[in-house]
Amino acid sequence: SLWFHVDGALGALGCWSAELAPLFQGIEQADSLAFDFHKWGQVPYDAGFLLIREGSLQRQTFSSSARYLAREERGTAAGEDWPCDLGPDLSRGFRALKTWMTVCRYGTERLGAMMAHTCALARFVAEKVSQEASLELMAPVTLNIVCFRYRAEPAQVDALNAQIAIALQESGIAVPSMTLVRGQR
C-alpha cells in the first residue's frame, strides 16, 4: 500500500470556506495532512500542523526508550503520550495556543469567508493584470496566488522582474515572492 500524504501548507484550510471546499474534495482520504495556520489562518509564524490518520504509526516512529525518558505511574513522568513520542522535539513551547485562540475568536466560518475573499481579490488582480499590456499573467488563478510578470526583452526579463520584486519588498508597498513558472521568472 502507498502512503497518501497531502501537503496542504497553504490551501488545506480552504475547506472552511463553503465556496472553496469543493476544490479540496478527497483530502479526507489522506493518511497524513500538513498545513500551516501562519499562511491562511491569520496566525503569526510558526504554526504548522501535521495530522496523521494512524497515530500509533507516529508514536512508533518517534518514541524513545532512553532511560531518562522512563514513564512512571505518577508525577511529572506519568502519562502516555509525551511530546517526544510525537516528533523529534522533547521540549517545545505552546505554539498551538495562538491557533486555538484565533479559531475561538473568529470561528471557522469567518476564517473561511476571509479565505474566499482573498481568492476574490486574487481574481480581481488577475483581471487587472490581463488588462495591462505591460504585464503578463503566468498561470491561472485557482486560490489566492497570482503569478504575473512585467514584459520585457527576453534577455532582460528575468533580471528585471527580480529587481522589481526586490524594489517592492524594500519599499514596503508589497511583499511579492519570486518563483519560476515554466522556466520563466
pLDDT, residue 140, reads 97
State phi, psi for 159 to the nearest 5 degrees: -65, -40
User: Which string of DSSP letters, residue by residue, matches 14-36?
Assistant: GGG-TTTGGGGTTGGG-SEEEEE
Respond yes or no on whether the N-terminal peptide bond of residue 85 is cis (omega within 30° of 0).
no
pLDDT, residue 80, reads 78
Q: Who wins on pLDDT, 151 or 70?
A: 151
- The total number of residues written for the chain in this structure: 185
Rounded CA separation 11/24 (Å): 8
pLDDT, residue 26, reads 94
- Structure letter (DSSP) for residue 139: S
Would you say domain 5-107 falls under CATH 2.60.40.60?
no
pLDDT band of 155, cuts 50, 70, 90: very high
pLDDT, residue 185, reads 81
For 41-84, the pLDDT digits (tens) are 999 999 999 999 998 888 888 887 788 888 888 998 888 788 78
pLDDT, residue 61, reads 85
pLDDT, residue 156, reads 94
For 92-143, the pLDDT digits (tens) are 888 899 999 999 999 999 999 999 999 999 999 999 999 999 999 999 999 9
Over residues 17-34, the mean pLDDT reads: 96
Structural domain spans, the chain? 5-107
Q: Scanning the structure block, which residue is given the C-alpha cell 529587481?
A: 163
